[in-house]
Structure formats: C-alpha cells, structure tokens
C-alpha cells in the first residue's frame, strides 16, 4: 500500500480549545479619548468582532486610554492576527460613528498575555473592576507592573 505523506500535511482540526489571552490595547499617545458615554457601544462592537472570528469574549472594559479584554481565541488565529482584526475594525467603527473627538487610532502595538484556565475568573473580575482599580493606580503604573511581572516570569523560565 502506498503511503501518501501529503495526507499527513492536511490541516489538523482542533475540536477543543483553551487559548485564553488577555489583550491590552492602548490609544495613540495614551490620550484619554474614549468617552464614558460611548464605552458600552465600543465594548459591544468589539464583542461582535471577537464572536465573528470564531472566538469568545469573556470580559471587556474600555477605559479612556486603554481597553482590556479576555478572549478564548480560535486556534486558526494567532494573537497578532486577532489583535489586528480587532484594532482595524474598532478604529473604523469609532471613526465612522464619531464616538470620540477627532480621529481615533490605537497604538501600533498591543499586549497579549496568556491566561491559564484556572485564572480566567480572576482575570475577568480584574477586567470588570477597572473603574475601582484605576481609582487607586494609574494606567502607567498598572502597565509597568504587568511588564515587570511577565518579565520575571520570562526570566525565570529562561534560566
């Protein structure tokens, strides 16, 4: 019997997935341009973007200068691909609907942190508790602590 190697190279279907990613998108120059009155509309639109890309959104909160979202992403999409789809689509939506003053733009890069299944609930609560959280700590302080935490994790794993 002839064994065809090409058949082994066909795309493997992933039936079950737990690819949880905590994304942080930052407005251009960290300007606080997302108004509270349009926050929920922007969140709902981004939820639709995620759902329409075979992924699931667990939590989202749009602050004035950044957003947090926790997503279980499709295995067909890398973090970078999903982040690009979200940023491009949401920028267009915000600008077409004039949901902020002037031209809206995200920074050219976003952050994506993997989340274990056991931490999903904790991260959801953290995201949904953003107003209270930012009454105690600025976004710059928050972001710096994220980077320090994950750098320690990376350095520990490298050793």
Domain coordinates in residue numbering, the chain: 16-120+127-158
Distance CA 81, CA 6 (A): 27
Give me 85's structure tokens.
């789809």
Residue 157: the pLDDT is 41
Sign of CA dihedral 64, 65, 69, 73: positive
Residue 146: the pLDDT is 64
CATH architecture, domain defined by 16-120+127-158: 2-Layer Sandwich (3.30)
Residue 99: the pLDDT is 97
Render pLDDT for 24-76 as a digit per residue (tens, 0 to 9): 999 999 899 999 999 999 999 999 999 999 999 999 999 999 999 999 999 99
Q: Residue 133: pLDDT above 50?
A: yes
Mean pLDDT of the region 81-99: 98
Q: Residue 154: pLDDT above 70?
A: no
Distance CA 96, CA 10 (A): 41
């Amino acid at each position: 019997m002839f064994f065809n190697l090409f058949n082994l190279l066909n795309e493997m279907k992933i039936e079950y997935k737990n690819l949880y990613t905590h994304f942080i998108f930052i407005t251009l120059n960290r300007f606080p341009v997302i108004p509270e009155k349009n926050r929920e509309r922007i969140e709902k639109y981004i939820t639709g973007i995620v759902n329409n890309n075979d992924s699931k959104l667990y939590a989202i909160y749009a602050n004035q200068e950044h957003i947090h979202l926790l997503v279980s992403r499709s295995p067909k999409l890398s973090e970078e691909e999903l982040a690009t789809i979200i940023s491009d689509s949401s920028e267009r939506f915000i600008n077409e609907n004039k949901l902020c003053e002037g031209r809206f733009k995200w920074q050219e890069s976003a952050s994506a942190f993997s989340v274990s299944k056991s931490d999903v609930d904790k991260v959801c609560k953290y995201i949904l508790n953003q107003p209270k959280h930012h009454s105690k700590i600025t976004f710059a302080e928050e972001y710096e602590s994220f980077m320090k935490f994950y750098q320690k994790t990376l350095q520990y794993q490298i050793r």
